[in-house]
Structure 1
Amino acid sequence: MDIAQTPAKALAMQGFMMYMTGSSVSIISIMVVGMSLLNSAQALAAVNQRFERVADGHISLILPKLIYVALNCVFLGMGLYKCSSLGLLPSTAVDFISRLPSKAYRAEVSSVPV
């Protein structure tokens, strides 16, 4: 269970770092968010490797692995929330306006000669 609870020890520090970077887009805030997303994605990809040294076949590691995955999903959610608050994620209809088809406007026609 100690391995499963390892991400919880860094949760407050990561939240504090995201809070201190502010709400403006700068290189520091991008780096903090990027590292948060990258580290949580790498941790989710290496769950079985993390628990290899304690896996002996006699004890079930399903609950510790689920806790580990859940805590890393919290980290991932914090990073995505920060991306959304910085305006880096497309979350409104205006963000997708370039995908709308443009209307073909017809030139006005008059029967009065110019």
Structure 2
Amino acid sequence: QMPHFAWSSQGRGFFTDRAGRDRTDNEELVRVWYSERNFARRDRAIELARKLGKSPIHIALAYVLAQPFPSVPLIGPRTLDELEDSLRALDIKLTPEDVAWLDEGAERRRA
């Protein structure tokens, strides 16, 4: 039960419009985050965000908060508006099935 401090818990923009399979202008984002497994995770986060009326970045933060061990998400909002937006993730309660689905695409129960 050692606390985990999740560096870049919002994916440094990977879960925003700054990233995408066709967007390769940010070399660091491409180097660190771009893989087919991560794009599949991003696709699932986008799908769940649409169902919940949230944004994918909210889902990414809720995922870190829903881990079965003490997890402290480290975020880096640049403005007060970004901080306030990030706090919308606190309204999302992911089930263990949601977490598994977001991570590996395993079957989940949320309708």
Same fold (TM over 0.5): no
TM bin, normalised by shorter chain, reads under 0.3
Give TM-score, length-normalised by structure 2: 0.26
Higher share of residues assigned helix: 1
